[in-house]
Structure 1
Amino acid sequence: MLRSVLIAIDASPATSTLLALAQRFCRPDLHQLHVLLAIDSTFAVHEQPAPFTQAEREEYPAACEEQQHAEAAIAAAVQTLRAGGFVAEGSLRADQPVDAIIAQAQALDCELIVMGHRHMSRLGRLLDPSISAKVLDRVEIPVLVGVAD
């Protein structure tokens, strides 16, 4: 039985770094990789990938564009991982990133979370800790953090 690993991406150029990390530390014969991208619920037109109606495109153009960008990033990440020989799936969640990552890791009974970290000033970390720091504080499984600028 394959063990689950969650890769939390954000559709930025840092995604390729996270995918490379996962491929370096996971094995296709041991791990199933799950790509997760969480978008703010105000930018989620649908809970699951689905075609947008003309009315949705006219009323929520920015949200449609954001969701399409997220869906494309997930599809590209899954394709990259599958090309590397992994069993891989992807999902989009309309939720706060920390909550989405933790919920998905628990639901999949993951043994590892792979995610990014952006450099912040000390003051910035004090005022609003990073997503990776918040996840680290709330999970009891290893978190592999790739540094992204």
Structure 2
Amino acid sequence: MAISAILVAVDGGHDTDQVLALATSMALAFSAKTHVLTVADVPGMAATSDLAVEASEERARQVARAALERLAESGVTAESHVADGSPAKVIAALARSLGCDLIVIGHRHMSLLGRVFDPSVCDDLLDHTSCPVLVVPGSQ
């Protein structure tokens, strides 16, 4: 399987360094065009506040910039993307529109109860994309 374009989805969480390290290896191994996506996380009612939305978008831009710097330090040139919305749907849609052959994403280990209140983006993504997804497991 040839991989010419990779979408790396990061949120600045604990697994971001591992996700970027694996994405770097894949990008260098395949000389793939690389895109970094951070989805602004605006929880529920906070979405009605312009300040909350702006703060979330600014944090997402900071995470994307840091990811680009980390990739560049390893010799990978990438483009960044910041978007609002349902993370899994946004990731799947951007991967489709960019023609990506691979999505690299992290995964948080959570209890069943934790997943009820904060569903897994990774699990949801698998239901929204036909693109292969490389999952970097988080620490337990």
TM-score normalised per structure 1:
0.77
Relative to 1, partners in 2 of residues 1:147 and 1:89: Cα closer, same or farther, differing over 3 Å? Answer: same
CA–CA distance in 1 between the matches of 2:42 and 2:103?
A: 22
* Deviation for aligned residue 1:70: 1.3
1:136 to 1:29, Cα distance in 2 relative to 1, 3 A: closer
Q: 1:140–1:75: structure 2 CA closer, same or farther, 3 Å change rule?
A: same
The sequence identity of aligned pairs, in percent, is 36
Tell me which structure has the larger Cα radius of gyration: 1
| Equivalent pair of 1:41/1:96 in contact (CA under 8 Å) | no
Q: Match for residue 90 of structure 1?
A: 80
Instruction: Confirm whether residue 111 of structure 1 aligns to residue 105 of structure 2.
Output: no
Q: Which residue of 2 aligns with 1:64?
A: 54
Deviation at 1:125, TM superposition (A): 4.6
Following superposition, the deviation at residue 33 of structure 1 comes to 1.1
1:71-130 Cα deviation digits (max 9, x unpaired): 111011011112211220101001110110000000011110000111122455578651
**Cα 1:100/1:28, change in 2 over 3 Å:** same
Q: Alpha carbons of 1:128 and 1:33: their partners in 2 closer, same or farther (altered >3 Å)? A: same
Offset at residue 141 of structure 1 (A): 2.0
Counterpart for residue 31 of structure 2: 30
What's the offset of the Cα at 1:27? 1.5
Q: Which moved more, 1:122-131 or 1:89-98?
A: 122-131
Q: After superposition, where does 1:1-149 map in structure 2 within 5 Å?
A: 3-27=4-28, 30-40=31-41, 60-122=50-112, 124-125=114-115, 129-149=119-139
TM-score normalized with structure 2 length: 0.81
What is the root-mean-square deviation of aligned Cα atoms in Å?
Answer: 2.7
Gaps of 5+ in 1: 45-58
Unaligned runs of 5+ in 2: none
Q: Which amino acid aligns with 1:20?
A: A
**What SS does the corresponding residue of 2:36 show, helix, strand or coil?**
strand
